[in-house]
Each structure stands twice: as structure tokens, then as C-alpha cells.
Amino acid sequence: MPESDEVRRVPEAEWERLKRDSRRRAQEREEADRHAAPRDREHREGTQEP
């Protein structure tokens, strides 16, 4: 099937690297969000801290 050929074109190692990169970028975004605007973040989350 041509569909499976399209999928197989990307090596497994490349997929792992892409997943790691996207995960790391998501973490960096969360870190930046946490440091840049803690008050905004608390407001978005509903201010659960006392």
C-alpha cells in the first residue's frame, strides 16, 4: 500500500528525535510561562494557592 510507504519513509530515530524536541520545547514554554507571568498563570488556573 502506498500509505504505509509514506509512513515508513521517516526513520524511527528521526521520530524519536522529533518527539524529544517537541517535548523539550513544550517544557521550555511552560518554564518561560511560569517565570514570565506567574500571576497570569494563577489566574488562568483559578488561583488554587492560598
- Per-residue pLDDT, 14: 93
For every one of its 50 residues, what pLDDT tens digit does the chain have, with 9 covering 90 and above? Answer: 456 666 667 789 999 999 999 999 999 999 988 877 666 655 556 655 55
Residue 29 to residue 10: CA distance in whole angstroms: 27
- Per-residue pLDDT, 27: 96
- Per-residue pLDDT, 29: 93
- Per-residue pLDDT, 22: 97
CB-count exposure of residue 41 (10 Å: 0-12, 13-18, 19+): middle
Residue 23 to residue 33: CA distance in whole angstroms: 15
- Per-residue pLDDT, 49: 53
